Structure 1
Protein backbone atom coordinates (compact mmCIF):
# COMPACT_ATOMS: atom_id res chain seq x y z
CA UNK A 1 0.00 0.00 0.00
CA UNK A 2 2.90 2.35 0.71
CA UNK A 3 4.06 2.02 -2.89
CA UNK A 4 0.75 3.27 -4.26
CA UNK A 5 0.70 6.29 -1.98
CA UNK A 6 4.23 7.21 -3.05
CA UNK A 7 3.16 7.09 -6.68
CA UNK A 8 0.19 9.33 -5.88
CA UNK A 9 2.42 11.73 -3.93
CA UNK A 10 4.82 11.83 -6.86
CA UNK A 11 2.02 12.68 -9.27
CA UNK A 12 0.78 15.41 -6.93
CA UNK A 13 4.28 16.93 -6.63
CA UNK A 14 4.70 17.00 -10.39
CA UNK A 15 1.22 18.40 -11.02
CA UNK A 16 1.50 20.96 -8.22
CA UNK A 17 4.80 22.29 -9.49
CA UNK A 18 3.45 22.49 -13.05
CA UNK A 19 6.58 20.80 -14.34
CA UNK A 20 6.23 19.44 -17.83
CA UNK A 21 7.78 16.03 -18.29
CA UNK A 22 8.38 15.23 -21.90
CA UNK A 23 10.45 12.72 -23.78
CA UNK A 24 12.89 14.30 -26.18
CA UNK A 25 14.08 12.06 -29.01
CA UNK A 26 17.80 11.80 -29.72
CA UNK A 27 19.13 14.10 -26.99
CA UNK A 28 20.93 11.48 -24.95
CA UNK A 29 24.31 12.48 -23.59
CA UNK A 30 25.34 8.87 -23.08
CA UNK A 31 27.70 7.61 -25.72
CA UNK A 32 25.70 5.98 -28.50
CA UNK A 33 23.24 4.11 -26.32
CA UNK A 34 20.13 5.22 -28.23
CA UNK A 35 18.41 6.16 -24.99
CA UNK A 36 15.67 8.80 -25.01
CA UNK A 37 15.97 10.72 -21.74
CA UNK A 38 13.08 12.12 -19.78
CA UNK A 39 13.25 15.91 -19.75
CA UNK A 40 11.70 18.50 -17.51
CA UNK A 41 11.92 22.27 -17.75
CA UNK A 42 11.94 24.21 -14.51
CA UNK A 43 8.94 26.33 -13.59
CA UNK A 44 9.95 27.27 -10.06
CA UNK A 45 10.70 31.00 -9.64
CA UNK A 46 14.33 31.98 -10.17
CA UNK A 47 16.01 32.42 -6.79
CA UNK A 48 13.73 29.99 -4.96
CA UNK A 49 16.65 27.68 -4.15
CA UNK A 50 19.30 28.89 -1.70
CA UNK A 51 22.61 30.27 -2.91
CA UNK A 52 24.06 33.27 -4.71
CA UNK A 53 25.19 31.40 -7.84
CA UNK A 54 23.22 31.30 -11.12
CA UNK A 55 20.03 29.20 -11.15
CA UNK A 56 21.62 26.34 -13.14
CA UNK A 57 24.23 25.85 -10.41
CA UNK A 58 21.66 26.08 -7.62
CA UNK A 59 19.66 23.34 -9.33
CA UNK A 60 22.81 21.23 -9.77
CA UNK A 61 23.66 21.64 -6.07
CA UNK A 62 20.13 20.59 -5.13
CA UNK A 63 20.26 17.51 -7.38
CA UNK A 64 23.66 16.46 -6.07
CA UNK A 65 22.64 16.89 -2.44
CA UNK A 66 19.42 14.90 -2.90
CA UNK A 67 21.22 12.29 -4.99
CA UNK A 68 23.90 11.73 -2.38
CA UNK A 69 21.49 11.59 0.55
CA UNK A 70 17.84 10.60 0.10
CA UNK A 71 18.24 9.02 -3.36
CA UNK A 72 21.72 7.49 -3.03
CA UNK A 73 20.24 4.07 -3.84
CA UNK A 74 19.40 5.28 -7.38
CA UNK A 75 21.74 8.22 -8.07
CA UNK A 76 24.63 7.57 -10.47
CA UNK A 77 25.90 11.09 -11.14
CA UNK A 78 25.36 14.29 -13.08
CA UNK A 79 26.95 16.50 -15.68
CA UNK A 80 26.19 19.97 -16.97
CA UNK A 81 25.82 21.69 -20.34
CA UNK A 82 26.21 25.36 -19.40
CA UNK A 83 25.52 26.65 -22.91
CA UNK A 84 22.11 24.96 -22.98
CA UNK A 85 21.42 25.54 -19.27
CA UNK A 86 20.90 21.81 -18.88
CA UNK A 87 21.67 19.35 -16.10
CA UNK A 88 22.07 15.72 -17.16
CA UNK A 89 21.13 13.39 -14.31
CA UNK A 90 22.09 9.73 -14.49
CA UNK A 91 20.13 7.44 -12.21
CA UNK A 92 18.47 4.09 -11.87
CA UNK A 93 14.89 4.93 -12.95
CA UNK A 94 12.97 6.46 -10.04
CA UNK A 95 9.71 8.36 -10.36
CA UNK A 96 10.16 9.83 -6.89
CA UNK A 97 13.66 11.18 -7.64
CA UNK A 98 12.57 12.54 -11.02
CA UNK A 99 9.56 14.28 -9.49
CA UNK A 100 11.67 15.72 -6.67
CA UNK A 101 14.32 17.27 -8.91
CA UNK A 102 11.82 18.46 -11.50
CA UNK A 103 9.72 20.11 -8.81
CA UNK A 104 12.80 22.07 -7.70
CA UNK A 105 14.16 23.09 -11.11
CA UNK A 106 14.09 26.86 -11.55
CA UNK A 107 12.73 28.60 -14.66
CA UNK A 108 15.02 28.36 -17.64
CA UNK A 109 16.83 25.23 -16.42
CA UNK A 110 16.33 21.93 -18.25
CA UNK A 111 16.92 18.63 -16.50
CA UNK A 112 17.45 15.48 -18.56
CA UNK A 113 17.19 12.16 -16.70
CA UNK A 114 19.12 9.25 -18.18
CA UNK A 115 18.60 5.63 -17.16
CA UNK A 116 21.47 3.57 -15.76
CA UNK A 117 21.58 0.30 -13.87
CA UNK A 118 24.24 1.17 -11.31
CA UNK A 119 24.70 3.73 -8.55
CA UNK A 120 27.54 6.19 -8.26
CA UNK A 121 28.60 4.55 -4.99
CA UNK A 122 29.07 1.20 -6.74
CA UNK A 123 31.01 2.84 -9.58
CA UNK A 124 33.28 4.58 -7.09
CA UNK A 125 33.85 1.24 -5.31
CA UNK A 126 34.73 -0.40 -8.64
CA UNK A 127 37.18 2.39 -9.49
CA UNK A 128 38.78 1.97 -6.05
CA UNK A 129 39.02 -1.81 -6.54
CA UNK A 130 40.71 -1.44 -9.94
CA UNK A 131 43.06 1.25 -8.62
CA UNK A 132 43.94 -0.77 -5.52
CA UNK A 133 44.92 -3.68 -7.80
CA UNK A 134 47.25 -1.44 -9.83
CA UNK A 135 50.29 -3.72 -9.42
CA UNK A 136 48.18 -6.79 -10.36
CA UNK A 137 48.23 -5.67 -13.99
CA UNK A 138 52.01 -5.03 -14.18
CA UNK A 139 53.68 -6.70 -17.11
CA UNK A 140 50.44 -6.98 -19.06
CA UNK A 141 49.48 -3.30 -19.32
CA UNK A 142 50.09 -0.05 -17.46
CA UNK A 143 47.13 1.37 -15.60
CA UNK A 144 47.45 5.15 -15.91
CA UNK A 145 44.13 6.45 -14.59
CA UNK A 146 40.83 5.17 -13.31
CA UNK A 147 37.68 6.98 -12.18
CA UNK A 148 33.89 6.81 -12.20
CA UNK A 149 31.95 8.57 -14.95
CA UNK A 150 28.46 9.91 -14.16
CA UNK A 151 27.03 8.22 -17.26
CA UNK A 152 27.28 4.83 -15.55
CA UNK A 153 30.74 3.47 -16.15
CA UNK A 154 34.32 3.58 -14.91
CA UNK A 155 36.86 5.17 -17.24
CA UNK A 156 40.21 3.37 -17.34
CA UNK A 157 43.23 4.93 -19.05
CA UNK A 158 45.98 2.49 -20.09
CA UNK A 159 48.93 2.12 -22.43
CA UNK A 160 47.44 -0.88 -24.32
CA UNK A 161 43.62 -0.70 -24.48
CA UNK A 162 43.04 -3.91 -26.46
CA UNK A 163 44.97 -6.05 -23.98
CA UNK A 164 43.65 -4.25 -20.91
CA UNK A 165 40.03 -4.45 -22.05
CA UNK A 166 40.14 -8.24 -22.38
CA UNK A 167 41.99 -8.77 -19.10
CA UNK A 168 39.83 -6.38 -17.07
CA UNK A 169 36.52 -7.67 -18.42
CA UNK A 170 37.53 -11.24 -17.63
CA UNK A 171 38.77 -10.30 -14.14
CA UNK A 172 35.72 -8.19 -13.24
CA UNK A 173 32.97 -10.48 -14.48
CA UNK A 174 29.98 -10.07 -16.78
CA UNK A 175 28.06 -7.38 -14.85
CA UNK A 176 31.05 -5.06 -14.45
CA UNK A 177 32.36 -5.69 -17.97
CA UNK A 178 29.61 -3.46 -19.38
CA UNK A 179 30.47 -0.72 -16.87
CA UNK A 180 34.04 -0.04 -17.93
CA UNK A 181 35.49 2.04 -20.79
CA UNK A 182 39.12 1.32 -21.51
CA UNK A 183 40.99 3.89 -23.60
CA UNK A 184 44.54 4.80 -24.46
CA UNK A 185 46.19 7.35 -22.20
CA UNK A 186 49.69 8.59 -23.00
CA UNK A 187 50.86 9.02 -19.41
CA UNK A 188 49.59 8.75 -15.85
CA UNK A 189 47.46 11.65 -14.71
CA UNK A 190 46.19 12.65 -11.28
CA UNK A 191 42.53 11.93 -10.56
Structure 2
Protein backbone atom coordinates (compact mmCIF):
# COMPACT_ATOMS: atom_id res chain seq x y z
CA UNK A 1 0.00 0.00 0.00
CA UNK A 2 2.77 2.44 0.91
CA UNK A 3 4.54 1.79 -2.39
CA UNK A 4 1.26 2.35 -4.28
CA UNK A 5 0.73 5.70 -2.59
CA UNK A 6 4.27 6.78 -3.44
CA UNK A 7 3.65 5.84 -7.06
CA UNK A 8 0.45 7.85 -7.07
CA UNK A 9 2.23 10.85 -5.53
CA UNK A 10 5.02 10.59 -8.11
CA UNK A 11 2.52 10.46 -10.96
CA UNK A 12 0.47 13.30 -9.54
CA UNK A 13 3.54 15.45 -9.15
CA UNK A 14 4.94 14.57 -12.54
CA UNK A 15 8.43 15.05 -11.13
CA UNK A 16 11.30 12.59 -11.16
CA UNK A 17 12.72 12.18 -7.68
CA UNK A 18 16.11 10.53 -7.42
CA UNK A 19 16.48 8.49 -4.24
CA UNK A 20 19.48 6.95 -2.52
CA UNK A 21 21.93 9.84 -2.23
CA UNK A 22 22.24 11.19 1.28
CA UNK A 23 24.62 13.57 2.98
CA UNK A 24 26.01 10.64 4.96
CA UNK A 25 26.93 8.70 1.82
CA UNK A 26 30.68 7.98 2.10
CA UNK A 27 31.06 8.09 -1.69
CA UNK A 28 29.85 11.69 -1.99
CA UNK A 29 32.71 13.94 -2.97
CA UNK A 30 30.72 17.16 -3.18
CA UNK A 31 27.76 17.63 -0.91
CA UNK A 32 26.01 20.56 -2.54
CA UNK A 33 23.27 22.46 -0.74
CA UNK A 34 21.44 20.74 2.07
CA UNK A 35 20.06 22.22 5.23
CA UNK A 36 18.50 19.63 7.53
CA UNK A 37 16.37 22.27 9.25
CA UNK A 38 13.26 23.49 7.45
CA UNK A 39 12.91 27.24 7.03
CA UNK A 40 9.27 26.86 8.06
CA UNK A 41 6.55 24.28 8.60
CA UNK A 42 2.87 24.35 7.73
CA UNK A 43 0.39 22.32 9.73
CA UNK A 44 -2.57 21.71 7.45
CA UNK A 45 -5.93 23.23 8.27
CA UNK A 46 -8.09 22.24 5.28
CA UNK A 47 -10.61 19.66 6.49
CA UNK A 48 -11.17 16.63 4.29
CA UNK A 49 -8.03 17.10 2.17
CA UNK A 50 -5.79 14.02 2.06
CA UNK A 51 -2.02 13.92 1.71
CA UNK A 52 -2.44 13.05 -1.98
CA UNK A 53 -4.80 15.98 -2.56
CA UNK A 54 -2.38 18.28 -0.74
CA UNK A 55 0.44 17.03 -3.00
CA UNK A 56 -1.68 17.59 -6.10
CA UNK A 57 -2.15 21.22 -5.00
CA UNK A 58 1.59 21.60 -4.42
CA UNK A 59 2.19 20.16 -7.90
CA UNK A 60 -0.15 22.77 -9.40
CA UNK A 61 1.65 25.52 -7.50
CA UNK A 62 5.00 24.18 -8.73
CA UNK A 63 3.82 24.53 -12.33
CA UNK A 64 2.57 28.07 -11.60
CA UNK A 65 5.87 29.05 -9.92
CA UNK A 66 8.63 27.30 -11.91
CA UNK A 67 11.05 30.09 -11.04
CA UNK A 68 11.02 29.08 -7.34
CA UNK A 69 10.10 25.39 -7.14
CA UNK A 70 13.04 22.99 -6.72
CA UNK A 71 11.56 19.66 -5.65
CA UNK A 72 9.49 17.62 -3.23
CA UNK A 73 9.83 14.44 -1.23
CA UNK A 74 7.04 12.58 0.56
CA UNK A 75 7.06 11.15 4.10
CA UNK A 76 3.91 9.01 4.17
CA UNK A 77 4.52 7.64 7.66
CA UNK A 78 4.26 11.14 9.11
CA UNK A 79 1.69 12.41 6.55
CA UNK A 80 4.19 15.05 5.53
CA UNK A 81 6.15 16.35 2.58
CA UNK A 82 9.36 18.32 2.24
CA UNK A 83 9.08 21.15 -0.27
CA UNK A 84 12.35 22.57 -1.57
CA UNK A 85 12.10 26.01 -3.11
CA UNK A 86 13.77 29.35 -3.60
CA UNK A 87 12.13 31.41 -0.82
CA UNK A 88 8.98 33.16 -2.06
CA UNK A 89 6.20 34.60 0.09
CA UNK A 90 3.55 33.92 -2.60
CA UNK A 91 4.60 30.33 -3.21
CA UNK A 92 4.96 29.62 0.52
CA UNK A 93 1.50 31.01 1.26
CA UNK A 94 0.01 28.87 -1.50
CA UNK A 95 1.75 25.74 -0.26
CA UNK A 96 0.69 26.32 3.33
CA UNK A 97 -2.87 26.97 2.22
CA UNK A 98 -2.88 23.65 0.30
CA UNK A 99 -2.14 21.44 3.30
CA UNK A 100 -4.96 19.25 4.50
CA UNK A 101 -5.77 18.82 8.18
CA UNK A 102 -3.24 16.42 9.68
CA UNK A 103 -0.73 17.02 6.84
CA UNK A 104 2.56 18.79 7.50
CA UNK A 105 4.46 20.56 4.74
CA UNK A 106 8.06 21.45 5.59
CA UNK A 107 9.62 24.22 3.48
CA UNK A 108 13.37 24.15 2.78
CA UNK A 109 15.39 26.96 1.24
CA UNK A 110 17.39 26.39 -1.94
CA UNK A 111 19.10 28.79 -4.31
CA UNK A 112 18.14 27.09 -7.57
CA UNK A 113 14.90 26.08 -9.27
CA UNK A 114 14.00 22.77 -10.87
CA UNK A 115 14.35 24.05 -14.44
CA UNK A 116 17.92 25.18 -13.85
CA UNK A 117 18.77 21.81 -12.32
CA UNK A 118 17.18 19.91 -15.20
CA UNK A 119 19.14 22.04 -17.69
CA UNK A 120 22.38 21.28 -15.82
CA UNK A 121 21.54 17.56 -15.72
CA UNK A 122 20.88 17.69 -19.47
CA UNK A 123 24.27 19.28 -20.16
CA UNK A 124 26.04 16.65 -18.03
CA UNK A 125 24.09 13.81 -19.73
CA UNK A 126 24.86 15.15 -23.19
CA UNK A 127 28.56 14.62 -22.46
CA UNK A 128 28.07 11.00 -21.38
CA UNK A 129 30.69 9.55 -23.75
CA UNK A 130 33.05 12.51 -23.61
CA UNK A 131 34.63 11.10 -20.46
CA UNK A 132 35.23 7.56 -21.81
CA UNK A 133 38.64 6.38 -20.66
CA UNK A 134 38.68 8.73 -17.64
CA UNK A 135 35.59 7.43 -15.84
CA UNK A 136 32.24 5.88 -16.68
CA UNK A 137 29.23 8.17 -16.31
CA UNK A 138 26.47 5.81 -15.13
CA UNK A 139 23.59 8.05 -14.14
CA UNK A 140 22.57 11.67 -13.94
CA UNK A 141 19.47 13.00 -12.22
CA UNK A 142 17.97 15.91 -10.37
CA UNK A 143 17.73 15.57 -6.60
CA UNK A 144 14.76 17.40 -5.11
CA UNK A 145 16.98 18.96 -2.45
CA UNK A 146 18.72 21.22 -4.97
CA UNK A 147 21.50 19.48 -6.84
CA UNK A 148 22.31 17.22 -9.75
CA UNK A 149 23.33 13.69 -8.80
CA UNK A 150 26.15 12.42 -11.04
CA UNK A 151 26.77 8.70 -10.57
CA UNK A 152 30.09 7.34 -11.82
CA UNK A 153 32.35 4.33 -11.45
CA UNK A 154 35.32 6.35 -10.12
CA UNK A 155 34.26 9.49 -8.22
CA UNK A 156 37.81 10.61 -7.49
CA UNK A 157 38.66 10.73 -11.20
CA UNK A 158 35.28 12.20 -12.14
CA UNK A 159 35.00 14.94 -9.56
CA UNK A 160 37.76 17.14 -10.90
CA UNK A 161 36.62 16.76 -14.49
CA UNK A 162 32.86 17.16 -13.92
CA UNK A 163 33.15 20.00 -11.43
CA UNK A 164 35.79 21.66 -13.61
CA UNK A 165 33.48 21.54 -16.61
CA UNK A 166 30.11 22.31 -14.99
CA UNK A 167 30.97 23.93 -11.65
CA UNK A 168 30.44 22.35 -8.29
CA UNK A 169 27.75 24.50 -6.75
CA UNK A 170 24.83 22.21 -7.64
CA UNK A 171 26.56 18.91 -8.43
CA UNK A 172 27.17 15.84 -6.30
CA UNK A 173 29.51 13.24 -7.71
CA UNK A 174 28.89 9.80 -6.21
CA UNK A 175 29.99 6.24 -6.84
CA UNK A 176 27.31 3.91 -8.21
CA UNK A 177 27.49 0.28 -9.18
CA UNK A 178 27.10 -0.76 -12.79
CA UNK A 179 23.49 -1.59 -13.65
CA UNK A 180 22.72 -5.26 -13.96
CA UNK A 181 19.88 -7.13 -15.63
CA UNK A 182 18.87 -9.01 -12.46
Shorter-chain-normalised TM-score: which range? 0.7 to 0.9
Q: Name stretches of at least 5 consecutive residues in structure 2 with no aligned partner.
A: 1-21, 24-33
Structure 2 distance, partners of 1:33, 1:166, is 24
| Match of residue 58, structure 1, among 44, 53, 60 | 53
The answer to whether residue 123 in structure 2 is matched with residue 132 in structure 1 is no
**Length-normalised TM-score, structure 1:** 0.74
Question: Does the 8 A contact of 1:159 with 1:186 survive in 2?
Answer: yes
Measured after TM superposition, the shift of residue 34 of structure 1 is 4.9
What is the aligned partner in structure 2 of residue 14 from structure 1? Answer: none
Question: Which structure has the higher relative contact order (CA within 8 Å, separation 6+)?
Answer: 2
Q: Which secondary structure does the structure 2 equivalent of 1:169 belong to?
A: helix
User: In the alignment, which residue of structure 2 is the partner of 1:113?
Assistant: 107
Question: Residue 21 of structure 1 aligns with which residue?
Answer: none
**Does the 8 A contact of 1:145 with 1:188 survive in 2?**
no
Cα distance change of structure 1 residues 34 and 105 upon mapping to structure 2, 3 Å threshold: closer
Look up the SS of the partner of 1:137 in the other structure.
coil
Alpha-carbon separation, structure 2, partners of 1:141 and 1:130: 13
Conserved? CA contact 2:35–2:108, under 8 Å: no
User: Against the structure 1 CA distance between its residues 188 and 178, is the aligned structure 2 distance closer, same or farther, given a 3 Å change threshold?
Assistant: farther
TM-score (norm 2): 0.78
Contact 2:75 2:81 in 1 (8 A): yes
Please give the residue correspondences for 1:74-89 in structure 2 after superposition, counting only pairs within 5 Å: 74-89=68-83
SS at match of 1:145: strand
**Equivalent position SS for 2:77:** coil
Determine which structure has more spread, i.e. the larger CA radius of gyration. Answer: 1
1:146 corresponding residue in structure 2: 140
Moved over 2 A (4+): 30-37
Deviation at 1:37, TM superposition (A): 2.7
State the SS of the aligned residue for 1:170. helix
Q: 1:136 to 1:145 in 2, by over 3 A?
A: same
Output one character per residue of 1:6-63: Cα deviation in whole Å (capped at 9) or x when no partner.
xxxxxxxxxxxxxxxxxxxxxxxx846354431010001114xxxxxxx111111110
Paired with 1:110 and 1:153, the residues of 2 have a C-alpha distance of 24
